[in-house]
Amino acid sequence: MTRHPFLAVVAAALAVVLSRTAPAQDSEPYTLKVQSQIVVLDVVVTDKHGALVQNLTKDDFEVLENKLPQPIRTVEHTTPPPPSKAPVAIESTADLDRLEPNAPVSIIVLDEMNTRFEDEEFARYSLKRYLNGLGETLSQPAMLIAVNTDHLMVLRDYTTSRAALLSALEHHLAAFPWNLQSGARAGERFNAAFASLMEIAEATSGHAGHKNMVWIGRGFPSIDMQTLPPDFEDSLKDEIQTCTNLLRDARVTLYTVDPAGITVQPQAVDADGFELDPFGGQVNFNDMARATGGRTFHNRNDVDALIGDSIRDGSDFYTLSYTPSNIAADEKPFRSIRVVMKDKDLRATTRAGYYAQPPIAAALPANPLDPASAASSKSSRRLIFDLQLAGAGTMVYDGLPFTIARNADKPNNFELLLSPSKIAWKTDDAGKLTANIVLFVESFDRKGKLLQRTADTFHLNRPDGANDKEIRLSASIPTATPAARLRFVLRVEADGRMGANNFYLVDPATLDDPATGMNRKIKK
């Protein structure tokens, strides 16, 4: 059973399509939602030698959207802290959001489902080599993740400790990619890679800082959209739309580092140098990188340097904002963006564009755990997918941060405490501020087996004059042995923001749970 049920129908189609070639057919481009008329771009500027450029102002940039000049509202420059400034010690997502709420971060992902075993080992060696070349305390917080077809595993939450990252890497034993070697389960590998991108984007959306995701591996298999049956093509377009939207809204720039050293064709551009719709025909992982403003690296001999280059780009960049001068509906929904430097010796790298489409309101199913209720609408299916995706792992979601308090007298009862300021409230017909929140709770044993799952929907009214008063949501789930880990997930109806956290009933170091990615047989 795939760990991402919402994408299962797409995976089933791709399993067939990836092994054959079908006649081409015309298809309409899909659309992405734009949640604001203000467009924000993170831009990396380099000179002709590839060095990062400092001290630029608004007058040095020109932004073109659909080939039309756009008035730039603001320009901000993010740079690494000076060597004289001691880095702030970060050991968790909670530390990051409390101590460095706007800091740029790195998210390093080890792809263990689409990368050959020998390339996996070389990638791990290269990552260790890169980390060993840094100081004991990193200047930028980093998170280490590994993904396979069954799990997204947070090997180490955000940290500024080099030793912590090296220890997590040492205690993770990657499985041999049998499915890749045999060519099997291609659809599931595509499915899992896509869902992993979505999960990381949703989980990190609460942190305002820029995020550089360095994906070490091949990414998902390439897909020719024209070989898909129409229904499956539409489903895949929807998932591409959602994934790219989530990455953009979370300020994630994707960099791919392929240790196999296989090159790809550059993105197609029109006669004026503007990129065409990156997903208009062929879909591959490198298109995802370019769509977010990242780059692709393919080099077998210098992977540690490529990792360093990717992380460097995420620590020194300019943030530009503008309001599009022409927001009328277009025949082609892809709105191409190009940042041009007044100095022709400089090069600006940013995302290729966006897809203009009004947001679609979500709706809560009557029962979040009832498949029939969940299938009632596309938005209900999306809610179920989001909840199950967040519930399957251990990654902390900070889009809706909360703390967990256990009742000392009634150990099966818990309270979740969250701030009203983090909730998207809506005004009802009576003029009251209201919100609907789904609470999803799961329990697991020491080996990661799901024991129980519950869900509830809370209809909240914001108290008058109580902006700083915590909101308390109650939950109950059996905690007697063999329960070892609880997973709490919250999702707001109005904007889809999510929070997720873990409550451990035993010492986490004693778990043999595949979701953690840690091999307890390796001595510390």
pLDDT tens for the chain, 524 residues long, are 445 544 544 444 444 333 333 333 333 332 233 344 688 899 999 999 989 999 999 999 999 998 999 999 999 999 988 876 788 999 999 999 999 999 999 999 999 888 887 888 888 888 999 999 999 999 899 999 999 888 899 999 999 999 999 999 999 987 776 666 555 567 778 888 888 999 999 999 999 999 999 999 888 777 776 777 777 777 777 777 778 878 988 999 999 888 875 444 455 555 555 444 445 456 778 888 888 888 888 765 677 888 888 888 888 999 999 998 876 655 556 788 999 999 999 999 998 887 665 444 445 555 656 655 555 556 677 788 889 899 999 999 999 999 999 999 999 999 999 999 999 999 988 888 999 999 999 999 999 999 999 999 999 998 766 556 889 999 999 999 999 999 999 999 988 999 999 999 999 989 999 888 876 554 44
Instruction: Tell me, yes or no, whether 302 and 421 share the same domain.
Output: no
Residue pair 343/65 in contact by the 8 Å Cβ criterion? no
End-to-end CA distance of the chain: 33
Query: For residue 84, is it within any domain?
Result: no
Query: For residue 209, is it within any domain?
Result: yes
pTM: 0.83
Q: What pLDDT shows up at residue 20?
A: 34
Residue pair 337/353 in contact by the 8 Å Cβ criterion? yes
Instruction: Tell me, yes or no, whether 96 and 215 share the same domain.
Output: yes
Q: What pLDDT shows up at residue 182?
A: 53
Residue 86, φ and ψ in degrees, nearest 5: -70, 130
DSSP at 395: P
Instruction: Tell me, yes or no, whether 333 and 471 share the same domain.
Output: no
Instruction: Tell me, yes or no, whether 22 and 161 share the same domain.
Output: yes
Instruction: Tell me, yes or no, whether 56 and 196 share the same domain.
Output: no
Q: What pLDDT shows up at residue 113?
A: 85
Query: For residue 85, is it within any domain?
Result: no
Task: Report the CATH number that the domain containing residue 21 is assigned in CATH.
Answer: 3.40.50.410
Helix (H) or strand (E) holding 150: none
Short-list 314, 384, 392, 486, CA closest to 147: 392
Residue pair 364/382 in contact by the 8 Å Cβ criterion? no
Alpha-carbon distance 497 to 499, whole Å? 7
Query: For residue 404, is it within any domain?
Result: yes
Alpha-carbon distance 514 to 150, whole Å? 9
Alpha-carbon distance 54 to 57, whole Å? 9
Residue pair 330/70 in contact by the 8 Å Cβ criterion? no
| Domain residue limits at 353 | 31-79+320-357
Alpha-carbon distance 170 to 130, whole Å? 14
Instruction: Tell me, yes or no, whether 273 and 353 share the same domain.
Output: no
Q: Which two tokens stand for residue 39?
A: 């467009």
Q: What pLDDT shows up at residue 224?
A: 72
Strands, sheet with 137-147, edge to edge from the N-terminal-most edge strand? 152-161, 137-147, 105-111, 211-216, 252-258, 296-298
Q: What pLDDT shows up at residue 328?
A: 60
Q: Which two tokens stand for residue 425?
A: 């409230």
Residue pair 119/217 in contact by the 8 Å Cβ criterion? yes
List C-alpha distances in Å: 357 to 36, 194, 332. Answer: 10, 22, 11
Instruction: Tell me, yes or no, whether 26 and 72 share the same domain.
Output: no
Task: Report the CATH number that the domain containing residue 471 is assigned in CATH.
Answer: 2.60.40.10
Short-list 434, 440, 427, CA closest to 369: 440
Q: What pLDDT shows up at residue 467?
A: 58
Instruction: Tell me, yes or no, whether 285 and 393 share the same domain.
Output: no
Q: What pLDDT shows up at residue 333?
A: 67
Give how many domains the chain has, as a whole number. Answer: 3
Residue pair 394/516 in contact by the 8 Å Cβ criterion? yes
Which amino acid is residue 94, in one-letter code?
A
